[in-house]
Structure 1
Amino acid sequence: MDPILCGLAANPALPSDLVDRLISIADEDIALGLDRRADLSRAQAVALAERVGESAVPLAYGGRLSAADIDPAVWPDAALALLDQGAGRPEWARLLAADPARERREKLAACPGLPSDVVDTLATDPDVRVVAELALWTTPEVAARLAAHPHAEVRSAVAANEATPPGTLAALVTGQGMPAARHCLVCDREEVPFVHDPRCPRRDCDLPPGASCDGSHESTVHDMRHAALRNPATPVEAVVGYVDHPSTQLRWALAARHDLPRKVCVRLAADPTPGIRADLAENPAIDDALIRALAGDHDPDVRRGLARHPRIPLDVLTDLAGAARIGATLLPRIAAASPTEVEELATSAQPAARMLVAQRRDLPPAVRDRLADDPDAKVVKALAPHPGLTEAQLRAMVDRHGVRVLARVATNPDASPALLEDLVRHEPTVRKVFREVARHPGATVPALLVCLADRRAGPLAAGHPALPPEVILELLADADDEVVEAAAANPSLPPAVMADLVRRR
């Protein structure tokens, strides 16, 4: 890989004639930058695809190649990309339905709006993986038809398809009115009874770890039920009976459903598996009484899940915030807090409550300014990126709380160039500050030069448009290829230098 040419290929300021030159010498690495260019013309896109065939697919997905540009016999994968977006031609689908590569037929089966004759062809494909892919994405009518397919793998895919009619999904879960499956991937390949060794040494084996069949296709049937339980289109009355099922996976899938009756939620709240209780804690289906009960759960994941519940009472949430490690995130209940609730949280005696509301980025100025003076470093750290803070406020945060808030202050969009320069020179240093300043649009040359000395921040700083051309030129000879590539992609690189770099390669 030539890091200079790869960087130039992604440089937004590269003149069009140099784009043409790069296309003419492109390899797969250079093409990765070229096919993402916003200014690539249709003629350039076609030329790039002809030069590097692998580029045809991303160019098609990016809208740079249209149906008029693609011959499916030459670029079948690009034709599939357009079919996947509903922009291909019906005759392409008929051609690709007979493609000898199973992977292409499988990709075709996932495309929307296929002609009915193509759907019929794919539904009888000799490779069951193609039929299963069709079942996963097809229309309600075809999904209902495939639900009775003799292969359990196809039925499992039907169970995961949210377009499958509810009655069909219920039949798959209960087995009522559904003929028994006759095959699965396990008994297709192995003599039953068979259990696949999770440490299978065969390199050509693609059976899932633990896949098993004793004639009842049990692992695939289990997967089918799991898919149906996770499918919101499956009627809840068909799945509630799994609340006491011995399979942890099935109970876990049930806990994530948003349509559970209360008695099922109560049973799941007492499940011995913490992950099930954690998913239930986040589930909008649970009421205030269960929320308060789960708040006392001994498992930290359950308490963290509960903190993400959209209707958690604020008093419960603030108590959790003091004990659970929620992290720097804006919780749904805080995002939906009313102006009165925001004021209450911001004036709470509990630092955890003030920290929660400080994660918002739309605080009224009076609330924002009050939190900027908060004595607790965790509150100030959460607030530091908030827009509208003055330089004096940001500097006061650093003076009071030091290294605990430096990196977050560096992310503030209103941080001044002078402040950014001071942050990168702060003693003791915080290495994350270098990366944040290197990304900041207001970073100055002195600040960026400091960032260049940091291994992880160096590539970010090398691509910053504030760097002067003479510094960028020096970076083109850096020992770190990432720095070289970023410098070559820097839009402040003079066009004459770009031309010379291309000409010399």
Structure 2
Amino acid sequence: MVAFYSSALDGVAANPALPTPLLLRLIAFDGGGHGPPFQALHRPGLPEPAVAAVLTHPVLDARVEFALSGQAEPEQRARLADDASPKVRAAVAHGPEWSHDPRTKVRPLPDAVCGRLLEDPEVSVRTALLNSRHVAPSFLASLVGHPGPAARRAALRVWDELAADERTTLLDDPDPEVRRSAALCACPDDAGLTSVLLQDPAALPEALRRGLLDRADAERFLAEGSHLVELAANPSLPADLVDRLAVDPDDAVRLAVSLRPELTEAQRAAIDFTVAPYARGDVDWVAAGIADQHVLHRAVTSGHPLLRRAAARSPHLPPELLRLLAEDTDDLVRTHLAVYHPDTPEEVLMSVYARLGGTFSAWMATGHPRFPREGLAARYADHPKGIYRQLAVRDPAAGPDLIERLSHDPDVWTRQAAAGDPRLPLPRLLEALALPELARSAGANPALPQSEMVAVMDEAGVPA
């Protein structure tokens, strides 16, 4: 297979204008034992004939790829739950590794299908299901009485949604791992459970971080100088012990104290802590209140960058808090805002786009609802930086002559953007199809004639 035609084939596989007969031809391709191109199997809205062809594809990897597609409907993926291969069934059970949009969640498989997968004879399939991030809470809650201890442990992921008698059942479970995990769920409200867990080395760090502490236990760990980061994060830690940890020699301990929710801004500012430039801001109480306006206001107006970074991941920010974070000088605050908030101002989107570049910025430019389009050609077609020149292609007013000029740009990302634009004149589009760095973009161009799509497939050895 010729290398650049292989790349062109990947583009054709992703081409939104690919006719169904050619899509079916491509999906039937064995790809030298690897199946059809990834892009064909991860297309959104695959027609039923294409889905049917994937479900019976002789190449195992083709069925696995479709089972892992974040673009496929869960009902479509579920049709592979009875596949002959445990590798395929495990892929169905686990689900997509990632969503094409970080702001959206992958819809879970129907509960009935999950039930079948949980009874699969292969342990790999059962394990994949119980480790999946895409299982509905209703199904997890139904596992409290399951005969398998791994399934009962999975039910603990929805602890807050379980009835009191269900929680008691798990706390008294015959399996020690289930009992330990249930106790860790219950310990924030039970000092007795916390004290017991602190005797268990496997449970100690988490119990110390979130359990309801007796003062004697807290003082013991403080005196020993062990697990002080976890102790500093504990919500029930007495105020005078918090004050002692706020001046601990360990910067990580002081940082943990600085994130406590009960501190005033003056108390927080008085702590000497260091924040890493790219620390995400994983703060439990902010994440738990991601839609709570009071919590968001406290975090957004804080002088602590990690609190603002955590709040910036909320899509529920009201306009006044959104405006404050849009004016924040912290790069990661603005990045989180650009990714997660649908109303992020244009100037923030543009600054994040220019700073990050690469595939992330390409995603943001095409996937964010507020990313600008009009006027980009006039503003950026002659910009000294290629990352800005490629934006000119997004302008609906850009003419064919400009698109052709940009297809010869020194910056490869700009050339690729132009090669994929349907306004590119046909002679240049056909030239781009034969250039290694532009073949994939040209193959995905909706203006590519069907005869050229056929020629790409013929050259790549896809059977007619």
- Give me the TM-score of the superposition, normalised by structure 2: 0.57
Of 44, 52, 55, which residue of structure 2 is paired with 1:46? 52
In structure 2, what is the Cα distance between the partners aligned to 1:250 and 1:68?
A: 37
C-alpha deviation, 1:231, in angstroms: 4.0
In structure 1, what is the Cα distance between the partners aligned to 2:325 and 2:26?
A: 55
Residue 252 of structure 1 is matched in structure 2 by 205
In structure 1, what is the Cα distance between the partners aligned to 2:219 and 2:251?
A: 20
State how 1:110-125 maps to structure 2 within 5 Å.
none
In structure 2, what is the Cα distance between the partners aligned to 1:344 and 1:234?
A: 26
Residue 217 of structure 1 is matched in structure 2 by none
Of 418, 425, 428, which residue of structure 1 is paired with 2:384? 425
Code of the residue aligned with 1:314 in structure 2: it is E
Indicate conservation of the 8 Å contact 1:4/1:476, yes or no: yes
C-alpha deviation, 1:488, in angstroms: 2.8
In structure 2, what is the Cα distance between the partners aligned to 1:285 and 1:464?
A: 57
Residue 198 of structure 1 is matched in structure 2 by none
In structure 2, what is the Cα distance between the partners aligned to 1:225 and 1:273?
A: 29
1:242/1:447 Cα in 2 relative to 1: closer, same or farther (>3 Å)?
Answer: farther
Residue 187 of structure 1 is matched in structure 2 by none
State how 1:363-402 maps to structure 2 within 5 Å.
368=323, 378=330, 382=334
Residue 149 of structure 1 is matched in structure 2 by none
In structure 2, what is the Cα distance between the partners aligned to 1:439 and 1:290?
A: 58
In structure 2, what is the Cα distance between the partners aligned to 1:260 and 1:339?
A: 22
State how 1:52-67 maps to structure 2 within 5 Å.
52-56=59-63, 59=66, 62-63=72-73
Of 75, 78, 86, which residue of structure 1 is paired with 2:111? 86
3-state SS in 2 of match to 1:502: helix
Residue 19 of structure 2 is matched in structure 1 by 15
Let me know the Cα RMSD of the aligned residues.
6.1
C-alpha deviation, 1:256, in angstroms: 3.9
**Please, which runs of 5 or more residues in structure 1 have no aligned partner?**
112-135, 147-153, 173-177, 182-220, 399-403, 427-432
Residue 276 of structure 2 is matched in structure 1 by 325
Residue 241 of structure 1 is matched in structure 2 by 195
Indicate conservation of the 8 Å contact 2:251/2:273, yes or no: no
Deviations 1:344-393 (A, max 9, x none): 949xxx79799879958957579949985x9xx658994996967677x9
Where relative contact order (Cα < 8 A, 6+ residues apart) is larger, the structure is 2
C-alpha deviation, 1:42, in angstroms: 1.9
Percent identical pairs in the alignment equals 18
Code of the residue aligned with 1:489 in structure 2: it is A
In structure 1, what is the Cα distance between the partners aligned to 2:213 and 2:408?
A: 56
Indicate conservation of the 8 Å contact 2:197/2:204, yes or no: yes
Deviations 1:126-163 (A, max 9, x none): xxxxxxxxxx99733345xx6xxxxxxx5x87566527
Code of the residue aligned with 1:498 in structure 2: it is M
In structure 2, what is the Cα distance between the partners aligned to 1:356 and 1:85?
A: 35
1:329/1:159 Cα in 2 relative to 1: closer, same or farther (>3 Å)?
Answer: closer
C-alpha deviation, 1:45, in angstroms: 1.0
Indicate conservation of the 8 Å contact 2:380/2:389, yes or no: no
3-state SS in 1 of match to 2:36: helix
1:491/1:292 Cα in 2 relative to 1: closer, same or farther (>3 Å)?
Answer: farther
Residue 266 of structure 1 is matched in structure 2 by 218
In structure 2, what is the Cα distance between the partners aligned to 1:42 and 1:286?
A: 58
Structure 1 position 30 matched with structure 2 position 36: yes
Indicate conservation of the 8 Å contact 1:282/1:305, yes or no: yes
Residue 502 of structure 1 is matched in structure 2 by 457
Code of the residue aligned with 2:265 in structure 1: it is L
Deviations 1:449-472 (A, max 9, x none): 5997567x5797478647735665
1:110/1:13 Cα in 2 relative to 1: closer, same or farther (>3 Å)?
Answer: same
Code of the residue aligned with 1:255 in structure 2: it is L
Of 347, 352, 355, which residue of structure 2 is paired with 1:407? 355
- Give me the TM-score of the superposition, normalised by structure 1: 0.54
Indicate conservation of the 8 Å contact 1:6/1:33, yes or no: yes
1:74/1:251 Cα in 2 relative to 1: closer, same or farther (>3 Å)?
Answer: closer
Deviates more, 1:34-43 or 1:53-62: 53-62
Indicate conservation of the 8 Å contact 1:9/1:22, yes or no: yes
In structure 2, what is the Cα distance between the partners aligned to 1:42 and 1:406?
A: 41
C-alpha deviation, 1:55, in angstroms: 3.6
Code of the residue aligned with 2:424 in structure 1: it is P
Residue 315 of structure 1 is matched in structure 2 by 266
C-alpha deviation, 1:16, in angstroms: 1.7
1:103/1:67 Cα in 2 relative to 1: closer, same or farther (>3 Å)?
Answer: closer
Residue 434 of structure 1 is matched in structure 2 by 387
C-alpha deviation, 1:22, in angstroms: 0.9
C-alpha deviation, 1:60, in angstroms: 5.7
Of 105, 126, 144, which residue of structure 2 is paired with 1:140? 144
In structure 2, what is the Cα distance between the partners aligned to 1:363 and 1:491?
A: 39
Deviates more, 1:356-365 or 1:53-62: 356-365
1:296/1:36 Cα in 2 relative to 1: closer, same or farther (>3 Å)?
Answer: same
In structure 2, what is the Cα distance between the partners aligned to 1:271 and 1:454?
A: 60
1:284/1:322 Cα in 2 relative to 1: closer, same or farther (>3 Å)?
Answer: closer
In structure 1, what is the Cα distance between the partners aligned to 2:73 and 2:9?
A: 24
C-alpha deviation, 1:40, in angstroms: 1.3
Indicate conservation of the 8 Å contact 2:117/2:126, yes or no: no
Code of the residue aligned with 2:206 in structure 1: it is A
3-state SS in 2 of match to 1:140: coil
Code of the residue aligned with 1:7 in structure 2: it is G
3-state SS in 2 of match to 1:270: helix
Deviations 1:148-201 (A, max 9, x none): xxxxxx5x87566527954555556xxxxx7xx9xxxxxxxxxxxxxxxxxxxx
Indicate conservation of the 8 Å contact 1:459/1:486, yes or no: no
3-state SS in 1 of match to 2:16: coil
Indicate conservation of the 8 Å contact 2:381/2:392, yes or no: no
Code of the residue aligned with 2:144 in structure 1: it is P
Of 424, 435, 452, which residue of structure 2 is paired with 1:468? 424
In structure 1, what is the Cα distance between the partners aligned to 2:277 and 2:80?
A: 50
Indicate conservation of the 8 Å contact 2:153/2:181, yes or no: yes
In structure 2, what is the Cα distance between the partners aligned to 1:420 and 1:487?
A: 25
Indicate conservation of the 8 Å contact 1:358/1:371, yes or no: no
In structure 2, what is the Cα distance between the partners aligned to 1:12 and 1:141?
A: 47
Equivalent pairs, count: 394
C-alpha deviation, 1:50, in angstroms: 2.2
C-alpha deviation, 1:298, in angstroms: 3.7
